[in-house]
Amino acid sequence: DGGITQSPKYLFRKEGQNVTLSCEQNLNHDAMYWYRQDPGQGLRLIYYSQIVNDFQKGDIAEGYSVSREKKESFPLTVTSAQKNPTAFYLCASSIYLMDQPQHFGDGTRLSIL
């Protein structure tokens, strides 16, 4: 079955530590995205990538970094510079353009120890 796989489902970070969230898709989609979701909030765009080796900052990119070395993979690193990282992180993909319907992974819930 085609889909988006995010891992881990739950992640705990110590102060001053960088952590990387994995996102893999086998839908052959060109575009991939990372969103952050806080309770009672909508989805806020962190980074997006429309093709391999290219990505753009979203609305809340500070404290995060990404890479897109392969079409299938778009990992997100939450750096120690992100002072409030506790949130639900969702990875998504779409066929190509950003206005196409997006398919989401199951998400990673990040908490601070």
Partner 1 sequence: GQQVMQIPQYQHVQEGEDFTTYCNSSTTLSNIQWYKQRPGGHPVFLIQLVKSGEVKKQKRLTFQFGEAKKNSSLHITATQTTDVGTYFCAGVGSQGNLIFGKGTKLSVKP
Query: Which residues in this chain contact partner 1 in the complex, by CB under 8 A?
Result: 35, 40-45, 48, 58, 90, 92, 97-99, 101-107
Give the shortest CB-100-to-partner 1 separation in angstroms. 8
Instruction: Give the separation between CA 110 and CA 112, rounded to whole angstroms.
Output: 7
Task: Considering the complex, state which of residue 16 and residue 101 has its C-beta at the smaller distance from partner 1.
Answer: 101
Give the shortest CB-66-to-partner 1 separation in angstroms. 15
Task: Considering the complex, state which of residue 3 and residue 17 has its C-beta at the smaller distance from partner 1.
Answer: 3
CA angle 97–67–95, rounded 5-degree value: 20
The residues that bridge with 7 in the sheet, in sequence order, are: 22
Give the shortest CB-80-to-partner 1 separation in angstroms. 27
Judge residue 37's burial from the number of C-beta atoms within 10 Å of its C-beta, 0-12 exposed, 13-18 middle, 19 or more buried.
middle
Closest CA to 70 of 17, 26, 19: 26
Give the shortest CB-57-to-partner 1 separation in angstroms. 11
Task: Considering the complex, state which of residue 18 and residue 62 has its C-beta at the smaller distance from partner 1.
Answer: 62
